[in-house]
Amino acid sequence: MSTEKVKCLIIGSGPAGYTAAIYTGRANLFPVLYEGIQPGGQLTITTEVENFPGYPEGIGGVQLMEDLRKQAERFGVEIRSGIATAADLSKRPYRITIDDEKVIEAETIIISTGATAKYLGLADEQKYAGMGVSACATCDGFFYRKKTVAVVGGGDTACEEAIYLAGLAKQVYLIVRKPFLRASKIMQERVMNHPNIQVLFEHNATGLYGENGVEGVHLVKRLGESNEERYDVAIDGFFLAIGHKPNSDIFKEYLDTDETGYILTEENTPCTKVPGVFAAGDVADPHYRQAITAAGSGCKAAIEAERYLSANNLL
């Protein structure tokens, strides 16, 4: 297995990874970035981005990430395809295995591997991706003003998304598998008392339909132990709010994570408990999960990496 030494390794190519690359490239750290499981990150499956500063008319998610990539390349960042498949953070230089076939020895690492939204596993979720199916109400809710949408989930996140969407849409259906909400009491009260939200307890979504996008959802309502009712509800948008899985598995032996797997960092910094290893973007952010917050954390990680290298005479 071949080995290569670098000063700064960036793992992941979403807004956090590319921003970290721009900053470390300008600082002459000669960073190497591996794109990871989804080159360009989650924004590449988003049609229009209207809340990223600097684009008054909005911009396509793919185009935004392509612009960030070009900006990083302008500053000499070497961007490569490949997935980090193993990690050894026990001592410096830290060792990351790429595609089970190459080892990168790095003095500093910026982990920006993101978090993957959980889906129900319906074929229609892929069929209508970017055409009415979303896993981010804050990102896409604006496109459903005065329309009818459904949110799947019964926890705090689902309730928050339903309330947010209820401020934009004319009708929100909250599809809940269980006969109760798992959300905190105050969130339950807000949902149950909101005039624009209808909670559908003991319902499962089994599919979606529509010609050129989502036009409705197939539902199954449980009626006791053996009976069920099947029917369709017309909707314009279908939002998943059943959680995210941070892409942090290979680092858990060395870094602290919360119960879900989000990497824990020192307060208001991207610093992990391993010196010289930083986490940026959604892999360390269970709360905001926005492109702009990810980009900001990528900037912080890059600055901290440069400071670490300088303090340890590694520049």
Domain identity same for 47 and 73: yes
Domain span holding position 221: 119-240
Clarify whether residues 124 and 263 are in a common domain: no
Cα–Cα dist 296/311, whole Å:
23
Q: Which pLDDT score is estimated for 42?
A: 81
Residue where one domain finishes, among candidates 190, 209, 240? 240
Residue 145 exposure: Cα atoms within 13 Å on the Cβ side: 2
Q: Give the pLDDT confidence of 105-139 residue by residue, as tens digits.
A: 999 999 999 998 899 999 999 999 889 999 989 88
Question: In which band, very low, low, confident or very high, does the pLDDT at 45 lie, cut at 50, 70 and 90?
Answer: confident
Predicted confidence (pLDDT) per residue in 18-31, tens digit = 999 999 999 999 99
**Burial class (CB within 10 angstroms; exposed 0-12, middle 13-18, buried 19+) of 267:** exposed
The answer on 32 and 20 residing in a single domain is yes
Concatenating the DSSP letter of every residue in 183-236 gives S-HHHHHHHHT-TTEEEETTEEEEEEE-SSS--EEEEEEEETTTEEEEEEEE-S
Q: Are 112 and 123 in a shared domain?
A: no
Provide the pLDDT for residue 4.
96
Q: How confident is the model at residue 177 (pLDDT cuts 50, 70, 90)?
A: very high
Strands of the sheet with 148-152, listed across from one edge: 133-134, 237-240, 148-152, 171-175, 197-200
What pLDDT score does 13 carry? 94
Q: Give yes or no for a contact between 14 and 281, defined as CB atoms under 8 angstroms apart.
A: yes
Cβ atoms of residues 134 and 240 within 8 Å:
yes
Q: Are residues 283 and 218 in the same domain?
A: no
Q: How many other C-beta atoms lie within 10 A of the C-beta of residue 129?
A: 15
Strands 237-240 and 148-152: parallel
Q: Are residues 47 and 132 in the same domain?
A: no
- How far is it, in rounded angstroms, from Cα 306 to Cα 25? 10
According to the model, what pLDDT value does residue 41 have?
84
Q: Which residues contact 54 (CB under 8 A, 6 or more apart)?
A: none
- Number of structural domains found in the chain: 2
Work out the average pLDDT over 63-87.
Answer: 96
Residue 4, number of CB atoms within 10 A of its CB:
12
Q: Are 83 and 36 in contact (CB under 8 A)?
A: yes
Question: What whole-number distance in Å separates Cα of residue 72 and Cα of residue 309?
Answer: 20
Does residue 43 register a pLDDT over 90?
no
CA distance 114 to 44: 13
Residues 138 and 166: beta-carbon distance below 8 Å:
no
Closest alpha carbon to 278 in 129, 108, 113: 108
Q: List, by residue number, the catalytic residues.
A: 136, 139-140
Q: Is the domain of 267 the same as that of 210?
A: no
Both structure tokens of 24: 């470390």
Cis peptide before 93 (omega within 30 of 0): yes
Same domain, 85 and 24: yes
> pLDDT per residue over 216-264, tens digit each?
999 999 987 778 999 999 999 999 999 889 999 999 999 999 999 999 9
Q: What is the pLDDT of residues 48-60, one digit of tens each?
A: 888 899 999 999 8
With beta carbons less than 8 A apart as the criterion, state whether 28 and 294 touch.
Answer: no
Within this chain, do residues 69 and 216 fall inside the same structural domain, yes or no? no
pLDDT at 218: 97
pLDDT at res. 226: 79
Q: How far is CA 283 from the centre of its chain?
A: 8
33 and 127, same domain (yes or no): no
Longest distance between any two alpha carbons in the chain, whole Å: 70
Mean predicted confidence (pLDDT) in 182-203: 95
DSSP-based three-state secondary structure for 2:
strand
CATH number, domain at 89? 3.50.50.60
Cβ of 105: how many Cβ atoms within 10 Å? 15
User: 145 pLDDT band (50/70/90 cuts)?
Assistant: very high
pLDDT band at 37 (very low <50, low <70, confident <90, very high): confident
